[in-house]
Structures are given as structure tokens and as C-alpha cells.
Structure 1
Amino acid sequence: MHPMMRHLLHISAVLSCLFFLAFVGKTYAHALDTLLIKEPEFEGSEPRQYRVLGIRVQGLSTIEERDVLARFPIEIGKTLTVPGPELSDAIKRLWRQKLFSDIKVEIEQKTFEGVFLVVTVREYPVLAEIVFEGNRTYSTEDLLKKVQLVRGATLTDQAIESAYQRLKRFYEEEGFLLTDIRYEVKETTGGRATLYFYIRESSYVTIERITWKGNKAFDNWSLNWYLEETKENNWWRNIFGRPRFDRKKFEEDKQKLINNAYRANGYRDARIISDSVYYSEDRTKLFIDITVSEGPKYVIRNVKFEGNTVYPSEFLEAVFGVKKGDVYNQKKLEERLRFSQEGGDISSLYLDRGYLAMRPDLEETVVEGDSVDLRIYISEGNQFRLRHVNIKGNTKTKDHVVRRELYTVPGDLFSRENIIRSVRQLAQLNYFDAEKINPDVQPIPQTEEVDITYELIEKQTDTFNASAGFSAVLGFTGAIGFTFNNFSLQDITRGDAYTPLPHGDGQRLDLQWQFGRFNFNVLSLSFSEPWAFGTPTTLGFSIFDQRQNFGFEFQQTGASLSIGRRLTWPDDYFRIDYTLRYQLNRGGFIQIANQPSVADEFSIIQVISRNSLDNPIFARRGSDVSLSTQISGGPFLPGTVDFYKFVFKNQWFAPIVGNLVFMFNSEFGYLGRFNESDFVFPQNFFFMGGSGISFIPTIPLRGYLDQTIGNFEQGLQIPTGNVYSKFTAEIRYPISLNPQATVFALLFAEGGNVWRRFGDVNLADLKRSVGVGVRLFLPIIGLVGLDYGFGFDPVIARPGQANQGWNFIFTFGQFAR
């Protein structure tokens, strides 16, 4: 054979071997990262350059040739080096498009001027249909949602494998651990294919028993309690849901067990030596054996700080709170050193003074067998200042409304505490999704500055209610109301701002109308500006008119002016509010002795409050405390109604574990007269029981009917009193924290009573109740409460009944808190 011909055949063989890609194993089993192109070595072959005279593509069915060539980096007219990297790089680039399951490049023709290349491809098919066979427990619709494949999409190896893994994981998470799943791709005409999943469902597998070995410090029950997601079966789980085994959650549980049980109680060297999982003969029950090595229980010997210049070591030791003789607690060490929810840790001290680059390094040294020395080196760095504070996502609320709530101001030193407080203030506005307020902190080390961007998501703040109900006193009643919580008086003349009313300045506009039998009508209008004169000063007014006719006419008409201010002492969670109110009373809904036909009531109300709740809808921590003092008439004000009233309320929240929250509330109220002959309208007395929604102000107490708790006053047919006390305890858990529908469930226990005089108060004589409830915060509608409570004690309004049984209560707005 002529040497030139042998040389041409040699080059053709090199190219053919170089670019032939074969798949081993199941069809469509290889992902992109398995592609391997190896440059073969041929004896005596030297790299040579060839001019590319032409390129064509074969094997296409749905893709145009020009689209492939546009992605192929080798162009006609360019020079190609063989052997060389150009062709392998070109195939890798084409492979990354995820359009082909096989790619091969060969020389189709060679001339003295150059070579003609042919690219042979095999297209991935287009998904035409997904078929499940053998699925009995779950419908095809359920499984289609899990595989997350879309008809008409390219059916790549990676897409198939991901769908397979999602489907298998779904069955495992649902407790069908031994379910066998296989898949097959059957190509049809026109480059389309049907993906088949063959499912052989196993029996439901329950964790029957967890066996512990090697544990002495903790008993089996305690260790099982620390496994949050891996629980063994028992009688009540058979009723409410049998425990399933999830390998990933099991691995997480083991690590949490070591950290939260052992290393938080001195067992620094504790570890899990081994674990085994096995099944019963019928493969419906799963057993877990876990062997632990506990090691010795350690105590702290010495604590030493180094590198600190900003704070003295004695102060850091006091804040650190870990001292000689304390039991070693890894979790506490991390919290006190780097982060605690309350902010009382070493890192917070520095971060709150601008030391953003501060880093604490903890070194532990085991000494004398069961003691640990702690050496903490503080790398303080320099102070950072705020450069830019940006706001993002406030599509309805104006920038100045957001900025006036922020504690982070450009030019100030960086402070983590101020960022946390700013997030809390924005959440309290209730204009944004409180769960998704995200401060994005971007340090600039070169200039020792920081940019902060508050990422916000607006939510519906306005409420509209249209309701109907039935009352034993009023019969059928109705209500229509509008509350605009982010109103803008400034934009009231702008036509384009009406959506349906101007928004964005943080003002509140409220209009309510209630109506019912006996000419029952209540109409009220109120407006408030939370930030008057460019300061945290609240100004507002309200007007109202209430009319009823129970055989005798009763009318209350009045107006009020209010002013309030956020305080800086004792801290800036405090505020003080004053309200000046005038009310004209005509007649009365109940006729009592010495009642005038017309009475003027002038009142001053002072409220001192402190609110540190972290969320206005579903609070997890913080408190809300208030003391209200009202003076009507007396020696200070004109009018024919004379009394004074004190009401103290204290509500606080604390997390139990995760999102499970404990709430406790206590209330005390007292109404007094300046003189025995002073007249007080009955609606100023304390009434208790039911939902609190009534034609007279009523303190709610679930499990009892409306206004059934208290004492009968002379001339009154409704139990009431001048002193009241109430206590409530709740455990709350969120079902959904979506701002479009926030839902949480609760268990409650509460007790309260109303007494005639202060000397009659007996806290052992509370009317008690327990029950369950649900709270729903819905856009437009607001907060809605549904409670079902059992009242344990007799009440004077229902003589002869030892208890009040179960009562369903519906509440909304402030009554559903």
C-alpha cells in the first residue's frame, strides 16, 4: 500500500477512536460528569494541522442541523490539530447542552486541501407520557407530582435518575421502605418516548423497637426522647400515626443525641460506636440497635481569655458565664461564645460595637483525666461603620415609613442588636411577611464599611368584614367594617393612588357599622397618624354613635382625641398614650336607681405600655404589658358621671421547643367611685364570659356564655362587678405561617371572676375552663378565632348547673388575640 494512503488511514483511525463514546450499564444511566475523553497515543504519529473544509451532522430527528453547528465550536475554514485538544473540547461543549445521549466525530473525506468531518449524534427523546404500573397505595396523579417531570421536555439521563430518586425517597418517607422501583424508556416515532416506572410496593414498615447498648448515664427512655424524628411504636402512635424510618433523619437524630444529651451534660467524648437496622420475618417491622460509648464526665477547670483589648478578661468571664467547676456543656460553650438568642454572648458584645471581623477561637485541653481547660483567643479586628442602608421589596409602603422604624443609620457603627431590633420593628408594622424579613449584610473589608439591604415582602394589611350573627338579647345582628392599616392621607387628592384607597404612609383609617333588632345601631369612625411632627408621636381622633331601644331609648354619642409617644426610658419598648374623651349618654339600656336621663361623661385615659413581642400575629418570645388609668369627672373634670378605673394586663411568650410556644396572660381591673353617691353608667362595670363580642364591653372567658360571671347588682339583671381578675395559659403551634393564611392551633386553660368589692376578691374562686382553639389570620378579613371550651364551675346566672359543659366560641379582631 502506498505510504501516503497508509498515513491517511492512520489519521482516520485516530479520529474515530478519539471521539467514539460508549455507555456502559443501563440505558440512560450516565450523567454529564461521567464523560471521559482520552487522547490515545500512536507510535510514530506527530501532531499535524488540517484545514476543516466541511462539517455535517447526521442522526437528527427533532433538532435542526444549523442549531447543532451553532453550538459546535469548530468552524469551517479553521485549522484543526490532530492529535490535539480542539476536537475533545468541542465534543465536551456539545455534550453539556444535554441534547444527545451519544456523540461521535469522524473524518468523512480527506483531500490534500483538508478534511471533511461528520458528527453523528443520537438525540435524547422528548417525553411523551409517564406510566406507573403496580402503584396501589398512591394514585398516578400523586406520583406525577413527586417525579416532577413535564411532558414535552427532553428526557435526559439525569432527569430520569432524579425522578427515580424522588419517587423512591417518597415511598421511603411514607414508610414503605422496601418498595422496589425500576424504570424503562420505550422510544416511539418522531423522537418521542414513554417513561415506565414499575413499582412493587412493600408493606408499611413500622419502627417496632429501639435497643440501646452501652448507656449508663441516661436510661433508654431518655435516649429515645432525644431522637426527635426516629420513634419506636407504641399504642398511641398506632392511633395517631405509626413511626416511619427515614435514614437521613436517623443520621441527624444520632448527631443531635450526642450534642444535646451527652455533650451538653459533660460527656465530651461520647460517640455512637455502631448501629444496625433489621426487619422482622414478615418485613413489616423494623428494629434498631444502637451502641454508644459515653466516656468520662468532664468539668471545667480553668477559663482563660487572650488577645482581648476592648473588654477586660474579668468582664468577658462574667458574660461568658462558664466557670471553674461547671459541668462541660458543648452547646452552652458555643452559645455563650458565638451566639445566643437573647444576645448575651461574647460575639454579641463585639458585634454590637462594630467589630464585625471579630473571631473567637476556642481551644480545649483535657487535663487530669476528667477536667478541661478552656483557652479563648479573641481576634478583635477593627470597627466597621454602615455605608448604605437599602430597602427592597416595599412595593406599597413608602420608604420613609420603613426607614423611620430602622435602628441602622448610615455612618453609625455596625451593631447586630440594632439589626435585630430593626427586623422586630418592621415585623410589628404588620405590613410585611414577618417570617421573611431578611437583612442582607455585605461587609466591605477594604474600607471597613458595611452595606445592609432589608429584603421585604408586602402582605395584605387592610381588612373588610361583613358578618351576621344571633344574640339572645339582640336577635339577628349584622356588621360591616373597613380598616385601612397603611393609609395615606397625603395622597388623597391623587387619582392614581386609589387602590381602592391611597396607601403607603402608615396611617390607620377605620369605619365600622353594627346593626340589629331594637333599633340597634353602632357607627364609628377613627383615624390615627403614628409618626406626627417627624417623631414617634401618635395623633388620632374618633367619633362614635350608638343607639338602642329595649322599650326605652338608649343613646351614646361622643368623640375622642388621642396623643401618644414612644419613650426612651426605661427602654425604647415603652410608650405612653393619653386619650381625652367626651360622651353624651341619653337613657340607658338598663334602668337603675338615680340614673339621669341625660349624662355628660368627660374622661382622661392614660396607658403606659411595653411591647417587646417579636411578631404581632404569632409571637414566639417577648412580652406585652400595659397599665390603663381612666378618670371620669370627679374633682378634676366636669360632667355628671364620676369614677376612676385601673386595668393591668401582662402577656408574655416563651418558646418551648422549635415553634411550640407557651403563652401566659394575667389581667386585673378595679373600678372605684370618688363618693358613694357618684353615678356610674352600667356599661363601665366589668362583665365577663363568652367571646367578649357584645353590645357592652365584656371580658372574654372561654367555656362560659356571654356575661354570665359576676354578681347581680341592684337593678341589674346581668352579673357584673367592680373588680375582676383573669389568668390564661396557652400552648400554641403554627400550622401555616404563610402571610396569605397564617394558622396556628392552641390548647388553653384559663380562669377568671368578677367581684363586687375589693374585699371580696378570692383568687381561689376562679371560674375555670380548658379547651382547644384555632387562630386564622386572613388577608382582608383579619384575625379570626375558633375555640371549643369546657367550663368547670357553676355561675350565678345559671343556677342549678354544676358546670357549663362545652361551648363553642367565635371571635375576631382584638377579641381573638
Structure 2
Amino acid sequence: MKRFIPLGPLFILLLFLTTTFTLAQDFSYEDGKKYILGGLEVTGLQSYNEQTVKTYTGLRVGQPITVPGDQISEVINKLWGLELFSDIKFFITDIQGENIFLELNILERPTLSNVTIYGVKERKVDELLKDTDLKKGKKITQSLIANSKNYLQNKYKKQGYLNAQVNIVTAKDTVGDNTQNMVINIKKGDKVKIRDIVFEGNEKIKAKKLRKAMKKTKEKRFGRFWKKSKFIRDDYENDLNLLVDKYAENGYRDARVLSDSIIKVDDNNIDIKIKVEEGNKYYFGDIDFVGNTVYTDRELAAILGIKKGDTYNGVLLRERVADDSDPDAFDLTNAYQNNGYLFSNINPVEVSAENDTINFEIRIIEGKETFLNHITVSGNDKTNDHVIFRELRTRPGQKYNKSDIIRSIRELGQLGFFDAENIKPEVGNANPNEGTVDINYSLVEAGSSQIELQGGYGGGGFIGTLGLSFSNFSIQNLFKGEAYKPVPMGDGQTFALRLQASRTFRVYSLNFSEPWLGGVKPVRFNLSISRTQQFSYDFRTRNIDKSRQFAITGVSAGLAKRVQWPDDFFTVSHSLGYQLYDFKNYNIGLFSFGNGKSNSFTYTFGISRNATGGGRIYPRSGSNFSVTAKLTPPYSLFSNKDFRAIRDESSSLLEEIRDLEQNDPRVPILNSQREKLEEERFKWLEYYKINFKGDWYTTLAGRDDKSLVLRTNAEFGFLGAYNHDVGDVPFERFFVGGDGLGNFTLDGRDVIQLRGYENQSLTPIDPLTGRQEGGLVYNKFSLELRYPLTLKPSASIYMLTFLEAGNAFNNFQQFNPFEVKRSAGVGLRIFMPAFGLLGIDFGYGFDSDNTGQETGAHGWETHFIIGQQF
């Protein structure tokens, strides 16, 4: 018979842990006697190795041991801390002189084998298993079950399911040893809605305004779809604070919520009753600044913007001191931090209250002027450090400036190499005594390359497209085999190759861009080479005639430099381009001649300012505008040709041809004569082309990845001629209407998006030819409301609704900015790094198009967007 031996102070602990020290034979000994451990046996193991458990106990044969004593207690606590065992027992199996032999008997906790979840959609199961960390092989404990249950219940309560119930049961798995299956049954029930919000004690501010002040706690009302009326506890607690802020904004400093109660109406509805105490209305008195040496009282008062006698506004005072909602706000804290005083501390203190007037002191501890010590970057696995550092506005040794950090975040986001939502500046190693601080920019790489591989049917047959675009390319590693992962990357260059072909046309293009030519200054170099061929196609017989073709060969090179005036958001660009238009028996009526060549040598000057914030894909603030002027030399000024006579003769031949029958044998001869005249007139194209485009972004509601953003857009274009005797060139014109995609264009045209109409259907009809040959003037205005569904690096998705108006005109004399074609609609955009931008728009045209075949509203149009700019 075994008898239990009391082990002094350890005895109570062992009883509490249901751990028993038992002697296998009758003997007596004194408490706390010292022995030599003669042996240790571990029993009860099912899945663990005996030697592993022995090693973890720290007990070794031959070591001195006191029984009972702290060593045994520590081993037991250590084993319990593993949460792997449900019972731990020590036995004394034998004592031989000074040697003691122990047995450690343990009972392993069961292991999780399988989890089954009922009550949720199948596609949600994996997400719940990941959130609760219920993985196969995990030890089942009471805390695991309780924590999982609490997490799931709170998860659904936060979504408005206040009556959500979660039950978790386990059962032995007959397949494995000491394994159990877990079954989770979730009953969400219906969302609980707020029927009424009732206020008591409010006399100074109406209940309607108080309800409006509660941003996320709303009553159930017909027609309210943007903000739901579900009850979420965390949002409700925050909204109670907003009630107090509402009173503080109106001078009621002492206002408070006395009580609030939630009254259950039924299983799906509740009422909320809130009792408030308003107190008296107060006004600002004297506001004195104390401790300031960097700024004068007058300068600080101008920033604070609060005067004596103004109605007390606690929220405004807090924001003017430090506005946490806007990192770039015009407040006192930013005034100091943008001037190098990182360690400054500004605290508004009420010094006295006389009747209804409150006097303040703005107490300022300026601290030591701070300078940047180390600037580092992390998380850039593909992009080389120098590409990042050259965009940063923070340099070691510079005076600390918070606005420089914010600007650096914007510049890194504009690169497109990193997830703009996860650029985090980390301020570390701050030393107030020495006035130094380190900054690390934590980055998350985003996909910066795109592959376009698509096929479709149109234009007389199958159209195949292969496009490769690498926006973080490294040309210096082009011949280094180890740099291909899968292509040389990391230097911030852009390299794009695009091939598109069908039975009727072929397009080849190559583009290269280096944003920092020479690596010293932000001077962008661009090089573009393209070749386009179009073959004659008979839509009736579907025959291709390659002997009749039109081709454009073009090359352009340009430089763009970021300048410092008027501010450093501006860029000035210059480029030179040459295009050769080559016609071979291409008499299809699209151009004024079908044989011959035309040359275009152009210089383009541009000014742009890009100051958008919030990321390249989904801007939330700022503006982006550009003005460009594309010019050719005025060749006719240096020519002795009588262009008026050539033009008049060509027009006369056109009239003569119109008067003849189509099969008249003189028509081909007259056409040939006219084409020679047109080729002579346009052998060297001369024109000037002005374009303006502006985008403005305004966040109307929300923050970060839940921002409701308004995009305002205005565009204008004009194509002019130096010499009216030469006339307007048949190329470079404006075609308005449709999706705005101009991937395949024959003649350098600008394709302008105006959803709600067919592609290019708003182009005016030329009075001489009776065809839509492109406008010489256009303007467009649009409003677009955007809301993001997700802005994750793998896929950014946002929905939009738009209002647009625009039109094109044959000449400047006919131009009327208010004579526009209107449309409205909704759309969706999906940006994936590997494929670029994809989208769909449903637009309704309120007016007739310019084809001359409509008299009423154009109606609905659907457009698919592939690869359009953001």
C-alpha cells in the first residue's frame, strides 16, 4: 500500500494542483531531506519523447535534490506553464541510502484534430479558423475554448448582431490517439437596429443637432442607406464623447452625459435614451502665451486664430493646438515641429473663470532644437536604396521638419513601387538632451510590373496583344544573369514593350524612361519608338489588301526637370519628335490623300504640377494639372509655294468629283490629281496644339482606406494653323466620346473619354467631306465621386459615380464651352499590379450625339476599361 508523504510548504501547492508525491514502500524521513537523484522515469506519455520531457525538467541523474523542496516545485510550475498537460504527478519509487528514485506521471492534453463550423457561409470558414488560430495539432485547453468563443461573439456583436450566440463542444476522435474534434455552432441572428434616440435635459441644443453629431450611431429611417442604423458598442461609446464635443463647440464647457440606457424593443430593435446636463455658456477671455522664444505672441496668436470674446469652443482650441486628425494641419504643434522643435510640448491651461469668461495660458516647453541623425529604409526587397533616398526630403544633419516627412511619404507613394497605405515613418532613438533623432521609413513592396496578354475579335478578325511593362527596371543589370528575377529590377526606370496585331493592322512600340538622368538631379529622360501599319479591309468581302496600306513610323525623346519655382511640385518638360506618315494606295476616304508621304517634326513644351496626396491609385487630396504646347516649324513661311492656289485647286477638284457619277472614268484621274495637291500641301505638317488638363481631389468624408473622394476634372484642347492658306492638318485631331482608350490610333489623335456615348461619336462632321474627321477644339468637365472597397496591395477596388459634359467643334469660331453633351452613370475600378487597371462603366447620355442620326437622348452605354490612367 502506497502512503502519501507530507512535503512541508510544497504540500499545499501539490494538493491545489492535484499533484501527489507518493512513496512506493513504508519508511519515514524528515521534511526537506537531501538526496542524490538516482533515477527519473517519465510515464503516461502518448505523443512526446521521454528524453525531451526529462531535458525540459532540468533534472539530471546524480544531482543533489531536496525532497520536498523548491526544485520539485519549479519543475511542476514549468511543466504547467507549457499548457500541454492536464495532470502532473511525482512519485517516489525507491530510496537506496542517499539515492532517491522518482517517477513523473503526466496526462497529456488532447490535440485538436478537426474543426467544423456551422452557421456561416462556407467561404467564411477559413477566415474564422485563421482569426481564432484553431489549427490541427493545437492543444485543447479551457482557455482556448473560452477565448475562441468570446472572440467570435464579439466579432459579430461589432457587426451589429447583438444577439449572436456561439457554442463550442469537443468529442473524442476515434481515428487518432488522444485527439478530439471540435464543433462550433454560430447563431448570428438578425442585426439589431436603433429605432429611436431620445435625449433628456437638452434645452440649448436641439435633439436633431445632437443626433447629427453622433457620426456612427443613427436611427432607423427610410431612405438612409449610406450610414446604417445598426448598434455597435465601440462606435456608440465614441459618439457619446462626440456629444460632449458638440456642446464644447458651442460654448458649453461643463456639459456632460449624466446617464444613458439601451431599451430592448424586440429581438431586432432597441431604443437609446441619453440624459445630458448642459451647464452654462462660456466665452474666451485673455489668452496668454508662456515660455515661447522661437515665435512671438503675435505670431502664435495668428496661428491659434481665437480672440477674446469668442464663444468658448473646446474642440477648436484643441485642434488649433494639435490637430491629430490632420498630420499637415496649420496648428501650434506643427508650427514648432516644422521648425525643428520635435520635443516641444504645448499645453492650454485654464487659469481662471470669471462669471462666463475663461482665461487661458498656452504653456509652451520648446525643448532643444532637433536635428536628424540617421535616415534608414526597410522593407525594400526589390528597389535599391538609392532610388528611395533620392526621393526623400529628409537628410542626416538637417533640422527636423515634420512637413518634410509628410512630403517624403507622398513622393514614395507616387513612385508606384510601394503600397502607399503602408509607408510608415518610424521616429526612433530620440535624444532630447542632444537634440537628435533617427527616422526609418518602413515600406511594403508592391507589384510594379504588368503583363498584358489578351485576345479578341474585331476590325476584321482576331486581335492579339502582348504587352510588357516594367516600372522599376534596371538597365545597367541587363547583361547580368543573376539579376533576372524575373527581369532586372530596382533602379526605378521604366521599360515597356507592346505588340498588337490582327489581319488588318500591326502596332509595335518601345518606351524607356530614366527618372534621374545622371543620378544627381530629378531630370527624367524619355525615349519612345513606334511603328504602326494599317491594311485596307473590305467589310463586305472581308478581304485584306496589303498592297494598300498606311504606316506611321515615329520616334521621340524628351527631358523633364523638377523645378523649385513657383514650388517644387512643378515640372518643366521638353521633347522632340518625328513622325513619318506613309500612304500606299490607301484611298479609303479617311484622309485627304491616299498616296505619298507626310512628315511631322515637333517640339513639345509642357508645364505640370502634381501635388496629389494619398497614393497614385486612389488620390484623396491635392491637384494635378498640365499645360502642353506642341509646335512644328512654320515651313510655309520659308516656302515660295502658293498654298492658297494649291488649296483652292484641291477644293475645286473635290467639288468636280462630287458632281460626277461614282463610275465615271474621270473620277480616278481627278482623285489622283487632287491627292498630289494634298500631298504637296501637307508634305511637311505645320500646326500648333494646346492642351490643358486639371484634376482636383477632395475628401468629403471618412479617412484613410474609407475616404469618400470627389474628383473634379476640366480639360481643353485646341489645334491651330499658322497659315490659313495651308489649312488645318488632317492629323492630331480631337475625337470625343466613349471609353477614352486610344491604344490603337492611326494619326496622332487625342481620344477623350465621355461615358454615356459611343466611342468618338461626339466628333463633329466636317462640312466639306461630310465625315467625322476630328475636331479642332474640345472641352470637357466632369465630377466623379469615389469610394474604396479595398486598397490592399494585391488588389485595389473602388466604385464611382460620375457626371460629365463635353463636346468637340470644327473650329474656334464655333466653339462654345456651354454647348456640351451631358452624361451620368456609375462604374467600378479594379487595380491589380500584374494586370493594371480594369473597370466597367454604365453611362447614360442625355443628349444626341454628333453623328446626325439621333434627335433625342442617346441613352445607355456600357464601356469596359483596360489599362486607362487613374
Is it true that 1:749 corresponds to 2:803 in the alignment?
A: yes
Is it true that 1:368 corresponds to 2:354 in the alignment?
A: yes
Instruction: Return closer, same or farther for 1:786/1:297 CA change in 2, 3 Å cut-off.
Output: farther
Q: Secondary structure of 2:760's partner?
A: coil
- Aligned-partner Cα distance in 2 for 1:14–1:109: 22
TM-score relative to the length of structure 1: 0.87
- Aligned-partner Cα distance in 2 for 1:285–1:117: 64
Instruction: Return closer, same or farther for 1:772/1:90 CA change in 2, 3 Å cut-off.
Output: same
Name the residue aligned to 2:551: 555
- Aligned-partner Cα distance in 2 for 1:279–1:603: 75
Name the residue aligned to 1:423: 409
- Aligned-partner Cα distance in 1 for 2:430–2:855: 72
Name the residue aligned to 2:211: 224
- Aligned-partner Cα distance in 1 for 2:455–2:15: 77
Letter in 2 for 1:15: L
Structure 2 unaligned segments of length 5 or more: list them.
20-29, 538-547, 639-682
Instruction: Return closer, same or farther for 1:450/1:500 CA change in 2, 3 Å cut-off.
Output: same
Instruction: Return closer, same or farther for 1:396/1:9 CA change in 2, 3 Å cut-off.
Output: closer
Of 156-165 and 569-578, the range deviating more from structure 2: 156-165
Q: List aligned pairs for 1:83-122, cutoff 5 A.
A: 88-103=73-88, 113=98, 121-122=106-107
Q: List aligned pairs for 1:190-339, cutoff 5 A.
A: 190-197=177-184, 202=189, 204-236=191-223, 243-259=229-245, 261-281=246-266, 283-339=267-323
Instruction: Return closer, same or farther for 1:637/1:677 CA change in 2, 3 Å cut-off.
Output: closer
Is it true that 1:766 corresponds to 2:814 in the alignment?
A: no
Instruction: Return closer, same or farther for 1:491/1:9 CA change in 2, 3 Å cut-off.
Output: closer
Q: Is the 8 A contact 1:592 1:715 kept in 2?
A: no
Out of 708, 715, 726, the residue aligned to residue 667 of structure 1 is: 715
Q: Deviations over 1:92-141 (max 9, x none)?
A: 333222223344667777788487666554432222344567x4888994
Is it true that 1:642 corresponds to 2:695 in the alignment?
A: no
* 1:496, distance to aligned residue in structure 2 (A): 2.0
Of 369-378 and 702-711, the range deviating more from structure 2: 369-378
- Aligned-partner Cα distance in 1 for 2:386–2:120: 58
Instruction: Return closer, same or farther for 1:496/1:13 CA change in 2, 3 Å cut-off.
Output: closer
- Aligned-partner Cα distance in 2 for 1:255–1:79: 63
Name the residue aligned to 1:546: 532
Q: Is the 8 A contact 1:270 1:295 kept in 2?
A: yes
Instruction: Return closer, same or farther for 1:524/1:65 CA change in 2, 3 Å cut-off.
Output: closer
Q: Is the 8 A contact 2:7 2:68 kept in 1?
A: no
Instruction: Return closer, same or farther for 1:168/1:77 CA change in 2, 3 Å cut-off.
Output: same
Q: Is the 8 A contact 2:532 2:552 kept in 1?
A: yes
Q: Deviations over 1:614-649 (max 9, x none)?
A: 221111111111111111222699872222121111
Q: Secondary structure of 1:499's partner?
A: coil
Name the residue aligned to 1:27: none
- Aligned-partner Cα distance in 1 for 2:858–2:203: 50
Q: Deviations over 1:320-342 (max 9, x none)?
A: 23333444444433333234333
Name the residue aligned to 1:437: 423
Q: Is the 8 A contact 2:10 2:73 kept in 1?
A: no
TM-score relative to the length of structure 2: 0.82
- Aligned-partner Cα distance in 1 for 2:765–2:271: 65
Instruction: Return closer, same or farther for 1:788/1:183 CA change in 2, 3 Å cut-off.
Output: closer
Q: Secondary structure of 2:157's partner?
A: helix
Q: Is the 8 A contact 1:791 1:804 kept in 2?
A: yes
- Aligned-partner Cα distance in 1 for 2:457–2:287: 68
Name the residue aligned to 2:616: 616
Of 624-633 and 117-126, the range deviating more from structure 2: 117-126
Letter in 1 for 2:764: N
* 1:188, distance to aligned residue in structure 2 (A): 6.8
Instruction: Return closer, same or farther for 1:500/1:179 CA change in 2, 3 Å cut-off.
Output: closer
* 1:401, distance to aligned residue in structure 2 (A): 1.4
Name the residue aligned to 1:128: 113
- Aligned-partner Cα distance in 2 for 1:483–1:438: 28
Q: Is the 8 A contact 2:635 2:684 kept in 1?
A: no
Letter in 2 for 1:154: K
* 1:198, distance to aligned residue in structure 2 (A): 6.0
Name the residue aligned to 1:788: 842
Of 292-301 and 194-203, the range deviating more from structure 2: 194-203
* 1:435, distance to aligned residue in structure 2 (A): 1.2
Q: Secondary structure of 2:829's partner?
A: strand
Name the residue aligned to 1:699: 752
Name the residue aligned to 2:500: 514
- Aligned-partner Cα distance in 2 for 1:218–1:748: 37
Name the residue aligned to 2:436: 449
Q: List aligned pairs for 1:436-585, cutoff 5 A.
A: 436-445=422-431, 447-469=434-456, 477-516=463-502, 519-533=504-518, 534-550=520-536, 553-585=549-581
Structure 1 unaligned segments of length 5 or more: list them.
1-7, 24-34, 36-45
Q: Secondary structure of 1:712's partner?
A: coil
Q: Is the 8 A contact 1:785 1:816 kept in 2?
A: no
Instruction: Return closer, same or farther for 1:591/1:136 CA change in 2, 3 Å cut-off.
Output: closer
Q: Deviations over 1:162-202 (max 9, x none)?
A: 11112322443454433444444555784333445566665
Q: Tell me the percent identity.
A: 35
* 1:545, distance to aligned residue in structure 2 (A): 2.2
Is it true that 1:631 corresponds to 2:631 in the alignment?
A: yes
Q: Is the 8 A contact 1:537 1:566 kept in 2?
A: yes
Name the residue aligned to 1:708: 761
Instruction: Return closer, same or farther for 1:91/1:258 CA change in 2, 3 Å cut-off.
Output: farther
Of 593-602 and 346-355, the range deviating more from structure 2: 593-602
Name the residue aligned to 1:604: 603
Name the residue aligned to 1:734: 788
Is it true that 1:687 corresponds to 2:726 in the alignment?
A: no
Q: Is the 8 A contact 2:7 2:31 kept in 1?
A: no
Name the residue aligned to 1:20: 15
Q: What's the RMSD between the two structures over aligned residues? A: 3.4
Q: Is the 8 A contact 1:173 1:244 kept in 2?
A: no
Letter in 2 for 1:233: K
Q: Is the 8 A contact 2:572 2:606 kept in 1?
A: yes
Instruction: Return closer, same or farther for 1:128/1:678 CA change in 2, 3 Å cut-off.
Output: same
Q: Secondary structure of 2:619's partner?
A: coil
- Aligned-partner Cα distance in 2 for 1:594–1:196: 79
Q: Is the 8 A contact 1:21 1:103 kept in 2?
A: no
Letter in 2 for 1:19: L
- Aligned-partner Cα distance in 1 for 2:308–2:441: 42
Instruction: Return closer, same or farther for 1:735/1:637 CA change in 2, 3 Å cut-off.
Output: farther
Letter in 1 for 2:283: V
Q: Is the 8 A contact 1:603 1:637 kept in 2?
A: no
Instruction: Return closer, same or farther for 1:198/1:505 CA change in 2, 3 Å cut-off.
Output: closer
Q: Secondary structure of 1:731's partner?
A: strand
Is it true that 1:158 corresponds to 2:143 in the alignment?
A: yes
* 1:738, distance to aligned residue in structure 2 (A): 1.5
Q: Secondary structure of 1:711's partner?
A: coil
Q: List aligned pairs for 1:2-151, cutoff 5 A.
A: 11-12=6-7, 14-21=9-16, 50-51=34-35, 53=37, 60-72=45-57, 88-103=73-88, 113=98, 121-130=106-115, 135=119, 141=125, 144=129, 147-151=132-136
Of 461-470 and 430-439, the range deviating more from structure 2: 461-470
